[in-house]
A and B are shown apart, each in its own frame.
Chain A
Amino acid sequence: MSEGTKEPDGGEEKVVLKTHDGQEFTVDMATANQSGTLKNLLSEVGSSSNNPQVIPLPSSITSRVLGKVVEYCQRHAAGGGRRGGMQALEQFDEELVELDKDMLLDVTYAAAFLDVPRLLDLTSQAVADAIKNMSVEEVRHYFGVVSDFTEEEEKVIRSECPWAFE
């Protein structure tokens, strides 16, 4: 369970994020505001410490994935001013995306859904870096994609730009 940060004026506003598998993450507003989606939502409905708003999330965002996003948002809500400055924050970012590929894609999905632009940047770049210079077969294998083209169709697509496959 995630703890909130400092209390600015007594009772601090909290919000509860609830995953489809029933897990709840209680976060403070600064953390929630890292997400554009939550920020918009909360600006309309509001939340308080006594009666925190519960926000249910789609099933595609599992508690493990949400845990990663919350970790990112908490760290970035605190900013570079704490725990070792910007350098430590950069290192945190780097280590955060050292995930297996399915998790990386799930976090990418969650970052897009929750609108956390910099996290989306990090994970998207990590995925792109992973498949750089891979052959078609390697990309399929990496993502666990089964080709839905016939041999003939694939040949046609390749013939459109043969030089890209050399």
Chain B
Amino acid sequence: MHETHADDDSEASVEVPGLGAPPSASPIQLLPQDVLHNVLGRLTLCEVLACRPVCRTFRDALSSSPFLASLSPLRLLALRHPRAAASPHPSLHALDPSFRRWIRLPLSFLPFPSFSPVTASPSLLYLWVDAAPSSSASAVATFAKNHTKSLAVCNPLTGFHRLLPPLGSAWSRHGTVLAGPDGAVLVVTELATLSYAPGPDRWLKFPLSLPSKPRSPILMADSVFALCDVGTPWRSQWKLFSCRLGDLGGVRGWAPLEQQEWGNVFDIFKRPRLLAGAGGSRLLLIGGLRSSFAVDAPCSTVLILRLDLATMEWDDAGRMPPEMYRCFGASGPSVAAAGGNNKVKVFGGDGKVWFSGKRVKGKLAMWEEEEEVGKSGGGLWSWVEGIPGYPEAMYRGFVFDAGFTATP
């Protein structure tokens, strides 16, 4: 290499950054913002937020909305905390399953005297709230005088929230709240489905054309799925129904999902529940595995079957290990007794299933779906310890992808 000194460098070399930066700026502070985004965008959402206090250059770059919206969300299991609002620092208790740590997302920005988180869609958390009249004169306050309980939506990371329009009747509060894409919300009750879309900003009511009360309804890939008992008062017989969101008020409406080849697949379950599998195209059916077809047969473990909606084929996705199942059982060594109890709550979604029980205090059993279909009895079973809050409580929860991809 030869060092020729630039004599009269008239060619305009492009002079760039560093102009506005402090004299002692570090090379990282001299990078153009898009380059800094390219670097820091490779961190997780949590790491990005943790880098905000480094300096103003970082804080500004890491507060840009398009940048934040481009980050992968933080997958959490949110607990339906019975007394979420009662604490002096109201928060959402959630498990970060990838690190197995419990975190608390502050909800103190919510102006409601009490609230209870029920469900979520990406970035958005839905809660039942007591919208007691506040001093701020608004439509919200006026409405709240008549109806004290309402649905609200918020993004716990941005601190924005919004009340949804009143539901109308009191019994709707006992329905299951399902959150769909683009701010759509469903409340599924025994008699009707109430459907909300942010566009028209109102609830539409559709009668349920189902043979019985829908059990364990879930929303997955633009369709609602639910189980119905079509059996006798003496013996349950479960059937799977589904309805596309767009067909709720339509002629097609709810239709059974069934195949001749399935046989009596539902009969092997005691108290089955539905959850969404990973990837949005598979259903999970979870319940106690009956040891025989006798009406009062005890369960031998928890079985998870998986239905591939593309092929309409079931496969055996997982079975709770016996030693784990025993922990959920009644007192004494009798395994049989465990099957009879209904004190196990099953919740989750997107390929993860959690189990809480009266007898497993302060911890949850977790099952994680394995991507490979057809691998029988697969999936990972483990315990998640250290539930925050009230160890004697029976928790339920839902999957919440915390992020900046949507605002209320």
Contact = CB atoms under 8 A, between A and B. Distances in A.
A23 B3 contact: yes
Contact of A56 (B13, B55, B58): B13
B5, B11, B14, B55 pick with most chain A CB within 10 angstroms:
B55
A20 B103 contact: no
Contacts of A25: 1
B29 interface: yes
Contact of B6 (A18, A58, A106): A18
Nearest to A37: B14
A80 interface: no
A18 to B, nearest CB: 7
User: Is the interface on chain A under 10, 10 to 19, 20 to 34, or 35 or more residues?
Assistant: 35 or more
Nearest to B94: A163
A162 interface: yes
B50 A109 contact: no
Given A1-B1, A18-B6, A109-B27, A146 B35 contact: no
Interface stretch (A4-12, A27-35, A84-92, A125-133): A125-133
B274 to A, nearest CB: 31
26 contacts: A20-B6, A22-B3, A23-B3, A23-B4, A24-B1, A56-B6, A56-B12, A58-B16, A59-B13, A102-B27, A108-B31, A109-B35, A112-B31, A125-B42, A133-B47, A135-B50, A136-B53, A136-B54, A139-B54, A140-B54, A140-B55, A145-B55, A145-B57, A145-B58, A147-B53, A163-B46
Given A22-B3, A112-B38, 17 more contacts: A1-B1, A56-B9, A57-B14, A58-B13, A60-B30, A105-B27, A109-B35, A128-B42, A132-B47, A136-B53, A145-B57, A149-B59, A157-B52, A163-B103, A164-B50, A165-B50, A166-B103
Interface of A: 1, 18, 20-25, 54, 56-60, 63, 102, 105-106, 108-109, 112-113, 120, 124-125, 127-129, 131-133, 135-136, 139-140, 143-149, 154, 157-158, 160-166
